[in-house]
Structure 1
Amino acid sequence: MKEYVAFDLETTGLSPENDQMIEIGAVKIRNEKIIGKYNCIIYPEVPVSDFVVELTGISREMLSKGIPLKDGVEGFLDFSEGFPVLGHNIMFDYSFMKIAAKSVSRSFEKKGVDTLVLARKLLKGLENKKLGTLCSYYHYVNEAAHRAYDDALATAVVFEQMKKEFPREKELFEPKQLQYRVKKQRPATQKQIRYLKELVKYHKIKDSAKVDGMTQREASKEIDRIILNYGVMKK
């Protein structure tokens, strides 16, 4: 795999169905050289915990100035079109992106390579196979760990170093089809619809999304968005 897009996401949590990406970072590589970069912070539609803010270093002010999820996702899909992908524990990021792509009526079917899988096969002597550990092993300083672009670049560096260290393992470095099936979304429950309508009425929101026809995930995100921006209903 001589050309590819290494990418990484920062998210509000670990569930691709219920959480949201807040940063997309990617670097396009051809013959070990950077030929393109993509990075954006996304305005969160769900609450972001203090833990995530502290871990990533993405401040609430930065989040408040983020771009809409739709714009960030479509930008990345255009950037990565026609290229296989690379990631560390890639199925985590792939699942988030595939769900997000479907939400904007786009496809994200990719071949790819996972540096975590490679490390487990090739670097068995390491204490663990975290990206930071691999960076230390290859004497690479990741200036901003847990930021999407910097982690994507670090993943690309580690991948290229692995190829040099294990030149006979060419098959391991070839991209393979990534498999993740987006779960069929169930219609919003009557409880969700009722509560959402009560929130909209209580806060006198005129620009709220249409409730009828929402999925459970969409209703949950809309409830979180309203509470985040307007607060809960007081008794």
Structure 2
Amino acid sequence: MAHTTIAQFLPLDKPLIIFDLETTGLTPGEDKIVEIAYEKILPSGEVVAYCQRINPGKPISPDASRINGIYDKDVASAPSFAKLSYELWSMFEGADVGGFNIIGFDLPFLKGEFALVGKNFDFTAKRILDAKILYHKMEARDMFAPRNLSAAYKLYCGKEHAAAHTGAGDVRATVEILEKQLEKYPEFRNWDYLADLHGNKKLLESAKTEHALLADVKPFGTLF
């Protein structure tokens, strides 16, 4: 079983799920999930990986398919979110969550999908580790380049993100980024500090504003 250094730097008293969603488009409430991938980090540091395609019950937009490589035919025989909801609810209910831009994108999508099956996914009650928030906190904005997952991966890990916009590839890159961030910035090794940081309205608005500006000029999927 694989291991991560995240649990060495950040105390875990429950699993930490680093996850990523691929979707039919960019709008929670209108668009749907077509793939969920995660690495479940146990308090021991052991990692359990998972990736599942999901039938969204609606067409995937051409722009989304062009970026994530998932087409309608690829999910035609996949289970619906409703069929997976009990398993996913049980898994997320007993865990903290992490990812890259999950506050602005993945968590709202997940909340919307759970709402459709009658469950209130209150992620505000969870401890959150969003690598994009940490990235925005510590690194100045480059007006000529997005602060997306690929940029963060190159900065912190010194490599190109070859598997960008695949669920499993994005999750693996995020775990590696978080390992480097926690190693580099000791202040991030405290959950209370992280809670304050993830609730920082100015910082969150900065991330949202940059996301919105890039959405006006970039094709689907280049934001994350």
SS at match of 2:186: coil
**Superposed CA offset, 1:112-153 (max 9, x none):** 121111101112266542110111121245442111222122
Cross-structure match for 1:124? 140
Matched, 1:145 2:175: no
Aligned residue for 1:121, secondary structure, equals helix
For residues 122 and 97 of structure 1, what CA distance do their matches in structure 2 show? 27
Q: 1:44 to 1:152 in 2, by over 3 A?
A: same
1:95 aligns with 2:108: yes
Instruction: Check whether the contact 1:38–1:76 (CA below 8 A) recurs between aligned residues.
Output: no
- The 5 A counterparts of 1:1-235 are 1-3=10-12, 4-30=16-42, 33-91=45-103, 92-109=105-122, 110-124=126-140, 127-137=145-155, 138-171=157-190, 176=195
Distance change >3 Å, CA 42–CA 24, structure 1 → 2: same
Q: What's the counterpart of residue 185 of structure 1? A: none
Query: TM-score when scaled to structure 1?
Result: 0.67
Task: Write the deviation string for residues 194-228 of structure 1: whole angstroms up to 9, x where unpaired.
Answer: xxxxxxxxxxxxxxxxxxxxxxxxxxxxxxxxxxx
The code of the aligned residue for 1:86 comes to G
Other structure's SS at 2:39 match: strand
Greater than 6 Å deviation, 4+ residue runs? none
Give 1:94 deviation, angstroms: 0.5
Segments of 5+ residues of structure 2 without an aligned counterpart are 1-9, 200-224
Q: Percent identity?
A: 26
Question: Shift of the alpha carbon at 1:103?
Answer: 1.7
TM-score relative to the length of structure 2: 0.70
Residue 37 of structure 2 aligns to a residue whose secondary structure is strand
Q: Which has the larger radius of gyration?
A: 1
Quick one: distance in 1 between partners of 2:179 and 2:192? 10
**Cα separation, 2, equivalents of 1:19 and 1:12:** 5
Whether contact under 8 Å (1:5, 1:85) holds in the other structure is yes
Count of aligned residue pairs for this structure pair: 179
Equivalent AA in structure 2 for residue 95 of structure 1:
P
Q: Point out the structure with the larger helix share.
A: 2
Partner of 1:176, secondary structure, is helix
Query: Which residue is equivalent to 2:214?
Result: none
Give, as a single letter, the amino acid of the residue that structure 1 aligns with 2:28.
P
Cα distance in 1 between the residues matched to 2:37 and 2:91: 11
